[in-house]
Amino acid sequence: MADSSFDIVSKIDHQEIANAVNSAAREVGTRYDFKNVGAVLELSGQNGILIKASSAERAKAVLDVLQTWLVRRKVSLKHLDVPDEPRLSGKDYRLDIALKEGISQENAKKIGKIIRDEGPKSVKSQIQGDELRVTSKSRDDLQAVQNLLRTRDDLDVALTFTNYR
């Protein structure tokens, strides 16, 4: 019997991000507590979100609305690279949020170490660019690895399992 495998990736569903940003922007535009504070929420390019407001607290409140909509759309908040504090730009406070996609080499090594140390012994993993390929003779062992990685909270990357063969 041939080896079974799956890939571990970190991909963003850009359509879901756009839907969440549009819904959050609509909510910000209609809510009373955001009236006359210059709150703006928009996509900036393919890999970024821009939040502008007249005060740092209002910018953080808009970020909270955005995160709520992302959770509703089942988009992991680990994809967001949010700065600690809004920066002052002219008279507006800005939050430039970058979207993280792909698994870095150090995170791939960390995931590989978790699989080696805590996963079934018959499972092998190898790094392929910004993804990880996991192979084993047993499909049950592969599902055990998926469950192991789903329960880990110390990973700072959102994982998706694809190409299950």
Nearest to 94 by CA among 102, 83, 105, 104: 83
Phi, psi of 44 (to 5 degrees): -120, 100
Structure-token pair, residue 69? 């909509």
Check residue 66 and give its pLDDT: 95
Last residue of a domain, which of 99, 117, 148?
99
Domain end, chosen from 78, 99, 120, is at 99
Q: In this structure, are 114 and 40 located in the same domain?
A: no
3-state secondary structure of 7: strand
Largest CA distance in the chain: 66
Domains contained in the chain, number:
2
Whether residue 93 is found in the same domain as residue 18:
yes
Which residue segment(s) compose the domain that 71 sits in? 14-99
- Measured CA to CA, the distance from residue 140 to residue 112 in angstroms comes to 18
Which residues, 6+ apart, have CB-to-CB distance to 71 below 8 Å? 77
Tens digits of pLDDT across the chain (165 residues) = 568 888 889 888 899 999 999 999 999 999 898 888 888 899 988 889 999 999 899 999 999 999 999 999 999 999 999 998 898 988 899 999 999 888 888 888 999 999 999 888 889 989 888 889 999 998 898 899 888 888 887 888 888 888 878
